Amino acid sequence: MIREYEELRLSERTHAIFKWLAILGAATFVVGLMVAPQRAWSSFLMVTIGLLGMGLGAALFIAFQYVCGAHWAVALRRVPEAMCGILPWASLGVLIALLVGRSIYPWTDTHLEGMKGVLLSYSFVVGRAVIFVTLWLLFVGAIIKRSRRQDKTADTGLSMSNKRLSAGFLVVFGLTFWMASFDWVMSLEPEWYSTMYGVYHFAGLFLGALAAMTILAIWLQHAGPLRNVLTHEHLHDLGKMIFGFSTFWMYIWFSEYMLIWYADFPEETGHFIRRQTGGWGPLFVANMCLTWLIPFFILLPKPVKRSPGMLVKVCCMILIGRWLDLYLLIYPSAVGHESVTFGIWELGMALGAPGLFMLVFVRNFRLAAPVPVADPQLQASLAHHQ
């Protein structure tokens, strides 16, 4: 059965909105560097980690699907593939933050003693970062290249080789990502440590990517390319995954917090005290409400998970929660915990990030057919039902 799939056409106005948002973000950053460099770099790091999470989360979604041999999301795979387009930009952002914005990391200027000094020696951290992002880009690039090549060659062998590459990517991700989250975010407070940190970042990035993917898929259904492709059944499964990973995030959050609260070591509790005092308390609670509590109760009934309108609202709430989560992770350590710092520099770059993301997404989505037309599992995915 040959079906025609619509190309993605953007109205001039929509494109202009994305473009101007991105320009606004960039302009805020440049001006911020001159006026308030600490805040500009902290905000830059937030945007970078957030966008990196979108790309890596999308790549993980693709890899999970291949490794499990799951067919349900094959028809939607071009959405996460296009989301991965942000990865090179986010990787560049990480390197810029480490090389140019190094002033936000307290350990770059002082010499730390013992093994911490070895693990957080500047050249070692930068070297690791280069290796991590290179590995991620190589694996993700190879997977997407094969998926797109299959459109033309219809070679089922490419699905098999993507399955192997996906397994490789998952191993590489598992071995590197926790260290990356230590290096790039946790080390903003070099005296504090928690073994859960990498798992916490993983839970957040995957949830955020799922939420973004769901919004984008619903948008593309309205815009044309995924019309007659995305069904209520797909949405139901995405809704269940969001429900599950939102709860997983809360589980990880609670496990980390509870253990630190219970043991009550002064060297550990500081991290949370700094995020509950000085006006941060309401945000601390809002993070949990937006990322888990409200989505949990809204997503419980089956009809909600099958309703595009409701899903988009919940996903937007989760993405705001994700922003807040990164804000709470980075700002109290990098800018100061005495009071909540929010203003033009944070707002401008928070608006710029989705603009940049959408520009890259749209460009990448147009590089290939809107669905993987020659994937052997496409028909099963299009006819997917519970």
- Residues that bind another protein in the complex, under the rule CB under 8 A: 69, 112-116, 119-120, 154, 156, 159-160, 170-171, 174-175, 178-179, 182, 193-199, 247, 251-252, 255-256, 258-260, 262-263, 265, 267, 376-377, 379-380, 386
Nearest to 335 by CA among 10, 22, 44: 44
- Cβ proximity to another protein: between 20 and 296 the closer is 296
Nearest to 104 by CA among 354, 329, 340, 277: 329
The DSSP output letter for 336 is -
Nearest to 306 by CA among 250, 370, 242, 245: 242
Q: Least distance from C-beta 13 to another protein, angstroms?
A: 42
Q: Least distance from C-beta 295 to another protein, angstroms?
A: 16
The DSSP output letter for 293 is I
Q: Least distance from C-beta 325 to another protein, angstroms?
A: 17
- Cβ proximity to another protein: between 158 and 349 the closer is 158
Q: Least distance from C-beta 229 to another protein, angstroms?
A: 18
- Cβ proximity to another protein: between 18 and 182 the closer is 182
Burial class from Cβ neighbours inside 10 Å (0-12, 13-18, 19+) for residue 2 reads: exposed
Q: Least distance from C-beta 51 to another protein, angstroms?
A: 24
360, containing H or E segment:
helix 344-365
Q: Least distance from C-beta 190 to another protein, angstroms?
A: 9
Nearest to 189 by CA among 104, 124, 71: 104
At position 111, the amino acid (one-letter code) is H
Q: Could you give the C-alpha distances from 367 to 82, 144, 145, 217, 236, in angstroms and in order?
A: 9, 11, 11, 17, 28
Q: Residue 13: how many CB atoms within 10 A of its CB?
A: 7
- Cβ proximity to another protein: between 270 and 376 the closer is 376
- Cβ proximity to another protein: between 23 and 175 the closer is 175
- Cβ proximity to another protein: between 110 and 255 the closer is 255
Alpha helices in 103-231 (DSSP H): 114-119, 122-153, 157-184, 197-223
- Cβ proximity to another protein: between 96 and 293 the closer is 293
CA triple 225-351-205, angle to 5 deg? 70
Q: Least distance from C-beta 159 to another protein, angstroms?
A: 6
